[in-house]
């Protein structure tokens, strides 16, 4: 069976996902698109999925009988509306992160999905599909390094654009660690603290950069992550797990060792898209297969809600300097 997909939001990641779902991956085709800018949607359809219907509204696309499942890649504040409408229509939906821009909105989606009694929504936290993180998780679950005790992580970008302001280091950048680290150690966070670093001269618009976020989990694991988005030298994602019997590191991406200009070493990627490009393919291919089988096997609405609550706590911790509790309430049996 070919899963017929409608994509809402034909911007940067929307176009990449359309190209994947309409040619590169098996078992799917894009039959409808929508964007708030109709000309953009028309042009994208013509280029990437000729014949797909261009809808004037997201709701029109969701109601289209030629659409079996929906992919939401519009900007964050519109996600709640389209995810809730897809749930109401009983259609599976893949929503790019964030699930919604507030924890309250994510909770509304949790409640709406549970009310249907069906798992319909997957959230686009693609790091869980990265080969390196998957290998690291295998090491943890196999018990090779014993119980994880501490994690030392870093999320470094060479630079960020001028519109990267305020707390985006948490809400846009660290949000990926929030999801993947919780998945990696299979534990929930209970508190967040932020320690400001000395500000780099490369930070624009008064941005705080760098800083360290410290998360503590229910079982007592301490996770420190350096967020440094103007590090200049590369897109550098690090993760080391310290266990009772050893340590395990996230593998470096495969690059060719060079000897050049009196240096022997490996290049560091500069573009985040290249670092995780394969994981997007794996993520959407698994989503297509699971959706055809009527399942959700990836990050759930509860994971999206948990990430939003944690992100809010980190923002509060950064602003206040205090250790802030993370409380999502009890995970419903529906998501166990």
Residues that bind ligand NAP (CB under 6 A): 8-14, 34-37, 40, 58, 73-76, 78, 96-97, 124, 126
Q: How far is the CB of 236 from ligand NAP (least distance, A)?
A: 16
64 Cβ contact partners less than 8 Å away, ≥ 6 residues apart: 6, 31, 32, 53, 55
Q: How far is the CB of 199 from ligand NAP (least distance, A)?
A: 25
Helix (H, G, I), strand (E, B) or coil at 82: helix
Q: Which among 197, 33, 202, 173 has a CA at the least distance from the CA of 97?
A: 173
Q: What is the maximum span of the chain, computed from C-alpha positions, in angstroms?
A: 64
Please say which residue, 11 or 60, places its beta carbon nearer to ligand NAP. Answer: 11
222 Cβ contact partners less than 8 Å away, ≥ 6 residues apart: 149, 150, 151, 214, 215, 216
Please say which residue, 78 or 240, places its beta carbon nearer to ligand NAP. Answer: 78
Please say which residue, 97 or 182, places its beta carbon nearer to ligand NAP. Answer: 97
Q: How far is the CB of 7 from ligand NAP (least distance, A)?
A: 10
User: Got the DSSP string for 248-309?
Assistant: EEPPPP----EEETTEEE------HHHHTHHHHHHHHHHHHHHHHTT---S--HHHHHHHHH
CB 179 within 8 A of CB 311: no
Question: Which residue's Cβ lies closest to ligand NAP?
Answer: 11
Q: How far is the CB of 127 from ligand NAP (least distance, A)?
A: 8
Q: How far is the CB of 142 from ligand NAP (least distance, A)?
A: 28
Q: Which among 73, 178, 125 has a CA at the least distance from the CA of 287?
A: 125
CB 95 within 8 A of CB 81: no
Q: How far is the CB of 294 from ligand NAP (least distance, A)?
A: 24
Residue 93 pairs in a beta bridge with 70, 121
Please say which residue, 87 or 248, places its beta carbon nearer to ligand NAP. Answer: 87
Tokens 């995810």 sit on residue: 83
Please say which residue, 145 or 278, places its beta carbon nearer to ligand NAP. Answer: 278
Please say which residue, 10 or 310, places its beta carbon nearer to ligand NAP. Answer: 10
- CA 215 – CA 230 distance, rounded (Å): 23
- CA 336 – CA 332 distance, rounded (Å): 7
Please say which residue, 92 or 124, places its beta carbon nearer to ligand NAP. Answer: 124
Q: How far is the CB of 287 from ligand NAP (least distance, A)?
A: 13
Tokens 């999801």 sit on residue: 179
- CA 197 – CA 202 distance, rounded (Å): 13
Please say which residue, 273 or 319, places its beta carbon nearer to ligand NAP. Answer: 273
Q: How far is the CB of 115 from ligand NAP (least distance, A)?
A: 24
């Amino acid at each position: 069976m070919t899963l017929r997909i409608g994509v809402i939001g034909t911007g940067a990641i929307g176009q990449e996902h359309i190209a994947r779902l309409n040619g590169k991956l098996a078992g799917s085709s894009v039959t409808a698109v929508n964007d708030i800018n109709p000309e953009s949607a028309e042009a994208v359809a013509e280029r990437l999925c000729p014949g797909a219907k261009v809808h004037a509204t997201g709701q029109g696309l969701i109601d289209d009988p030629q659409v079996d499942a929906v992919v939401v890649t519009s900007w964050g504040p519109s996600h709640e509306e389209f995810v809730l409408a897809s749930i109401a229509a009983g259609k599976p939906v893949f929503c790019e992160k964030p699930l919604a821009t507030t924890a309250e909105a994510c909770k509304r989606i949790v409640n709406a999905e549970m009310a249907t009694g069906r798992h319909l929504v997957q959230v686009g936290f693609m790091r869980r599909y990265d080969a390196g993180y998957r290998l690291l998780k295998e090491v943890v679950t196999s018990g090779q390094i014993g119980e994880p005790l501490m994690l030392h992580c870093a999320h470094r970008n060479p630079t960020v654009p001028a519109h990267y302001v305020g707390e985006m280091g948490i809400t846009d950048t660290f949000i990926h660690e929030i999801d993947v680290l919780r998945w990696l150690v299979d534990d929930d966070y209970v508190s967040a603290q932020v320690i400001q670093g000395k500000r780099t001269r490369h930070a624009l618009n008064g941005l705080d950069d760098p800083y360290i976020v410290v998360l503590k989990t229910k079982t007592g694991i301490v996770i420190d992550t350096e967020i440094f988005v103007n590090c200049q030298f590369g897109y550098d994602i690090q993760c080391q797990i310290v266990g009772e019997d050893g340590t395990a590191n996230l593998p470096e991406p495969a690059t060719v060792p060079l000897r050049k200009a009196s240096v022997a070493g490996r290049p560091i990627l500069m573009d985040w898209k290249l670092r995780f490009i394969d994981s997007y393919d794996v993520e959407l291919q698994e989503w297509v297969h699971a959706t055809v089988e009527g399942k959700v096997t990836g990050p759930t609405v509860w994971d999206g809600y948990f990430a939003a609550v944690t992100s809010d706590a980190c923002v509060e911790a950064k602003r206040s300097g205090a250790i802030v509790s993370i409380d999502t309430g009890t995970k419903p049996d529906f998501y166990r």
